[in-house]
A and B are shown apart, each in its own frame.
Chain A
Amino acid sequence: MRPLPVGEHGLLIELDSAEEVEALHAELLRRAADGALPPLREIVPAARTVLLDGLADPRGLLAELAAWDIPPIGAGDRPAVEIPVRYDGPDLADVAALWDCTADEVVRRHSATEFRVAFCGFAPGFGYLTGLPEPLHVPRRDTPRTKVPVGSVALAGPYTGVYPRSSPGGWQLIGTTDTVLWDPRREPAALLAPGTRVRFVPRETT
């Protein structure tokens, strides 16, 4: 665990793996729920870091952090969120070529994987989902699309994700879902908050 200063009221804690990030984030949320964390404005997990912002005394928390016993992440007690997907994306054949398998096999492998939301960013409700084994990591498109349709299920690097709204994007599109990822009138607004387990369920294309 390597803490880095962020202005007057922040700490960026760098860790060695996505699993360690998730474990520290879970511990921070536990302590926040127990009222055992000093008041702060934001806890932002990311690929290898957790940002703590809006702390009155970052040094004080830093000293305390070093003594924490952080349990590794378990399987989780809540059931995985299931997202029905039509595997009809325009890049499905390209991903099959990158994985050196058939399109049906891409569907099988993607839907057999249990993902976890490592962190969010890019747009409200856009979760970066980890879980694919390293040989299945794919590059972004050489030329990003100016418009990716809402609900597109996509791959890039170690991540899979679902576009919560139409936006430009360079990820490989393998499918589509009707599930609403982000609705600010809903509680919670984001279906995929950090730490959520996710499974994609194939649906027949129509």
Chain B
Amino acid sequence: MTDRAFSVVRAGALTTVQDLGRPGHAHLGVPRAGALDEPAHRLANRLVGNPASAAALETTLTGCALRLRTATTVAVTGAPCPVTVDGRPAPWGAPLRVPAGAVLDVGPATHGLRSHLAFAGGIDTEPVLGSRSADLLSGLGPDPLTEGAVLPLGAPYGPAAGADAVPHPGPVTELVLPFLPGPRDAWFTAAGLHTLATGRFRVSPASNRIGLRTEGPPLERSRGGELPSEGMPLGALQVPPDGLPVLFLHDHPTTGGYPVVGVVPERHLAPAAQAVPGTPVRFVRMR
């Protein structure tokens, strides 16, 4: 094993390797996967001089801790959190030089859910179908981090482009999800669609990288039964028989049998990656 690597000291609740995912294989049943907070992933890579496509870590709520085998420039973005190097405070949202042998600790999120941690050179695990992303639904890509695991790093790309200012997201007090109706809004009554647009929903603790589940008033359907299996896009609001919308995130199945009442455009999905269970959710019809 090369020295360009890190070992996992504390894996955290769920820490996965993610890049921009493996789009283009949905017809084979392969989810897109990829970083849930894509703007944060891109920013972390930019801060350490990587292309946006480099693989980084995505943590969940409790962060993670790693021992670097070689001096490496890293950056943490996404959910704000305390960052330490060998116990000494270090900046969040800025390029940070970590000496060889030092322990980098990405602490629990102070607000938000997922922090994105990039390393100069990117994580160099073996790509699967062109991506290093872990896909929790189908089990493609590297396993979630476990204590003691060693992950290789690539050679640095060059000096970081840097950033004048890094947006420090405030707490997500309400998740607002704009959606376009369809393709199966006709499966719901006018009252059901009204419920979607006006109801008070919350993020369910059963949410994961596959879908953001909601709790709230069920949507009334105008017809029963299942739908023949059909393609499900990223951002689909799928409504299972309990009537509660599930927002499909990056590890969602590529086909499914429940009606999709609306679709949240991709550019509005990053806040969903940071919404903790219990966060109020509002669905806003775009037209």
Q: Which residues of A contact B (CB under 8 A)?
A: 4-10, 12, 41-51, 53-54, 119-126, 128, 165, 184, 189-190, 193-194
Contacts and interface: CB of A to CB of B under 8 A. Distances in A.
B27 A45 contact: yes
Nearest to B22: A184
Given A41-B23, A46-B229, A53-B26, A10 B254 contact: no
Contacts of B30: 124
A120 B28 contact: yes
27 contacts: A4-B183, A4-B184, A5-B181, A6-B183, A9-B265, A10-B263, A12-B182, A12-B230, A41-B23, A42-B231, A42-B233, A44-B231, A44-B255, A47-B228, A47-B230, A54-B23, A119-B27, A120-B254, A121-B29, A121-B253, A121-B256, A124-B138, A124-B140, A125-B28, A184-B140, A189-B28, A190-B28
From B23, B128, B228, B231, name the one whose CB has the most chain A CB atoms within 10 angstroms: B231
A8 B28 CA distance: 23
Question: Closest 4 A-B residue pairs measured CB to CB?
Answer: A51-B231, A7-B263, A121-B255, A44-B231
Given A43-B27, A120-B28, A121-B254, 16 more contacts: A4-B183, A4-B184, A7-B264, A7-B265, A10-B233, A42-B24, A42-B231, A44-B26, A44-B255, A51-B232, A119-B229, A120-B254, A120-B255, A184-B128, A193-B27, A193-B28
A138 B195 CA distance: 38
Contacts, number: 109
Contacts of B26: 42, 44, 51, 53
B28 A124 contact: yes
Interface in B3-26: 23-26
Q: What does DSSP make chain B's interface, helix, strand, loop or mixed?
A: loop
Contacts of A54: 23
B230 A49 contact: yes
Q: What does DSSP make chain A's interface, helix, strand, loop or mixed?
A: strand
Contact of A47 (B25, B27, B139, B229): B229
A7 B253 contact: no
A7 B266 CA distance: 9
B151 interface: no
B190 interface: no
Nearest to A50: B231
B161 interface: no
A153 B232 CA distance: 26
Interface in B180-222: 180-184
B257 to A, nearest CB: 9
Contacts of B129: 184, 189
Nearest to B130: A184
B80 interface: no
Nearest to B228: A47
Nearest to B286: A8
Contacts of B265: 7-9
B235 interface: yes
A42 B139 CA distance: 21
